[in-house]
Structure formats: structure tokens, C-alpha cells
Amino acid sequence: MIKAGIIGATGYAGAELVRILMGHRDVEIVWYGSRSYIDDNYAHIYGNMFCIVDAKCLDDNMEELAAQADVIFTATPQGFCASVISEEILAKAKIVDLSADFRIKDVAVYEEWYKIEHKSPQFIKEAVYGLCEVNREKIKDARLVANPGCYTTCSILTAYPLAKEGVIDMDTLIVDAKSGTSGAGRGAKLPNLFCEVNENIKAYGVATHRHTPEIEEQLGYASGKEVRISFTPHLVPMNRGILATAYAVLKKKVSEEEIKEIYDKYYKKEKFIRVIGAGACPETKWVEGSNYVDIGFQVDERTNRIIMMGAIDNLVKGAAGQAVQNMNIMFGLPEDTGLNLVPVFP
């Protein structure tokens, strides 16, 4: 039985970790960390867990937690994990960090986009970027996994095969992404009130969103050259789901069959990636509650562009589900253990 601790267990991503791990036969949660609710019953904060979780919230003492746990999930604000991580902790417990602290290899880029000083740059090199389908082999031996961002996971996986195969002109890549509101977290902020979000859609963080450099770095590795993209997130009046609509100019004339073959080359064996095919438009509702990424595309001969579309549940494949998938890989478990979550519809 793997003993798991969660720091930030009362945020939406942390709560989703709890939900998923409740159904994971090989894991026991030993620590529900929540700085805001210390000593409160967890089920009092999340009523859905009444009669399911019988535990109180604890603080965020990573050292003590490392002594009790085999794996620590940090579902915490940027900067937390970097400020507390240590060789001593890593010697005792593996860490899956759901924040951005160890996602970006160039510390200057991190500090520029996140506007905070990185407190533990010495661990950046060791950290493995936990995009399971791309970095599976490296994750197996990792002590520290940087779990990708929600927009990032969706954007990269949608474009990855075509970037890797050199089919699209990376200088023309634009990702227009739409996210449910749980991505904004559970903080009591006016812009996230029901009446402000409901019946409304808006872009935000235009040309400045922090997931941009993360997408660029990873697609840069894939394409073998530096990548600069336009990335625009939008807030949609729904709880869960991210849809990424990506546009790129095709480098040469390719048929939809050829595109499908390229996707299949990389994803056919991937349980959690469903390429729904040419002319098909993924819907976020079809993946809700599950760890799936659904990908569709359309070649537009009129403009010589391809439009790629990817859909995920931001809290599952975009956060907690991928974190558990990473944990499974790190501990040598079948990758889908605890993740056979059938999408909930409607």
C-alpha cells in the first residue's frame, strides 16, 4: 500500500486527487494538508466526502509528511514546493508537484513569467516534466515530477505529433483555449462569483498567460527548434473542461488520412488519448470526470491550415488524474490503476 500525502487537499485539484485516490486500490491517503482548514474535518469542507473520508485537515509540514508518506502531492500555489523541498525530503518520499515550480528548465523564464524568485533552482534539472505520454521513460525513475499545467497538457498533446513530425510551421501556431471555472481555483474572488461567470465568456491573460512558456518549451523539444506561440485562454461558464483549438499552417500538402496516421503513430497505444478523427470535434463533456484527452482535427485546404482540437477535464488529465498517472509510473504500477474513470454524461 502506497502511503500518499496531499498538500493543498482542499483546493479543487487537491480534492480531485482525494476523489481519484479513494478509488485507487494501492493507495492510502495519510495526510490531508490544508493550511486554511487545519483541524477541520475534511468532509466538512467537501460535503461529497461525508462518510467517505474520515480525517482532519493537517498543516503543510513537508518534513513530517515525508516521514510518513511514500509520495507527496503538492497541489499548492506557485512557489510553495520550491520553498520547502529538500534533499532530505526527496530521500524519503517521491514528489509530484502540481504547481509550476519545476516545469520550466530555464529559471530565468520561470521568474519572468511568474514574477517570483525560485527558491530551489538546484532541483530543476532533476525534475522530470510529467507529461506521461511523452516522458514516460524518464518518469519511471524520477523522484520529483513536475505535473504539467492544465492548459499545457491539452495544448501540447493536441499539437505534439504534428510538431514532432515537422508537418506544421511552428511559427504560425496559435492556441485558443477555453476553460471551465474550476481552473480558477476555490479562492473567494469577485471575478469567480457565479453571477460574474455565468452567462458570460471572456478572454484573459492575453499574450501573458503563464502556461505559455511551458507549452513553448515542450513543443520546442518536439519540433527541435525554438517555438513562440500565441496562447489565449478564455473563461467559460462551466465547472470543468478545457478545449484547445489550435491553428497552424501546413508545411506541405497533406491529406487527412496522413494526419490521422501521424496521430496514430504516437497515440494509438495510448489508453488515455482518443483520436476521434478527421472532421470530428471533441466536446469537453465527453471526457468529464475522466483522464482522457480527445483529439480531432480538420484540414482546411482553402487556407492551407490545419485546425487541431483537444479536450480534457482540467481537474483530471489537467491536474489530479495525470498526477496519479505519474505516480503509477513512478511506482511501477499499471499506468491506469485507479484511472478507469468512465466519463460522466450528461
Would you name the residues annotated as active-site residues? 150
Binding flags for a copy of itself, 232-271, as an x/- string (CB under 8 A): x-x-xxxxxx-x-x-x------------------------
- Work out which of 19, 92, 118, 210 binds a copy of itself, going by CB under 8 A: 19
* Closest distance of CB 313 from a copy of itself, Å: 10
* Closest distance of CB 295 from a copy of itself, Å: 11
Nearer to a copy of itself, 108 or 344 (CB): 344
Is the bond into 77 cis (omega within 30 degrees of 0)?
no
* Ranges within 48-87 binding a copy of itself (CB under 8 A): 48-52
* Ranges within 323-342 binding a copy of itself (CB under 8 A): 340, 342
- Work out which of 284, 325, 326, 328 binds a copy of itself, going by CB under 8 A: 284
Q: Which of 327, 323, 334, 332 is nearest to 17 (CA)?
A: 323
Q: Which of 76, 83, 72 is nearest to 123 (CA)?
A: 83
Grid cell, residue 161, equals 505529433
* Residue 177: count of CB within 10 angstroms of its CB: 26
Binding flags for a copy of itself, 213-232, as an x/- string (CB under 8 A): ---------------xxx-x
Q: Report the alpha-carbon distance of residue 244 to residue 219 in Å, rounded.
A: 15
Distances (CA, A) of 52 to 13, 44, 47, 86: 18, 11, 10, 33
Q: Does 1 bind a copy of itself (CB under 8 A)?
A: no
Nearer to a copy of itself, 141 or 199 (CB): 199
Q: Which residues of 103-125 are buried (b: 16+ CB within 10 A; e: fewer)?
A: bbeeeeebeebbeeebebeebbe
- Work out which of 68, 78, 298, 337 binds a copy of itself, going by CB under 8 A: 298
Nearer to a copy of itself, 103 or 274 (CB): 274
Nearer to a copy of itself, 39 or 194 (CB): 194
* Closest distance of CB 234 from a copy of itself, Å: 7
* Ranges within 174-213 binding a copy of itself (CB under 8 A): 174, 176, 178, 180-182, 186, 188-190, 192-204, 206-207
- Listed in sequence order, the residues at least 6 apart from 309 whose beta carbon sits closer than 8 Å to its beta carbon are 158, 243, 244, 245, 246, 281, 282, 295, 296, 297
* Ranges within 140-159 binding a copy of itself (CB under 8 A): none
Type and span of the H or E element at 65: helix 62-68
* Closest distance of CB 69 from a copy of itself, Å: 21
The CA-based angle 128-131-134, given to 5 degrees, is 95
Task: State which amino acid sits at residue 100.
Answer: A
Binding segment for a copy of itself (CB under 8 A), chosen from 41-49, 69-77, 81-89, 251-259, is 41-49
Kindly determine how many residues on this chain lie close enough to bind a copy of itself according to the rule CB under 8 A. Answer: 82
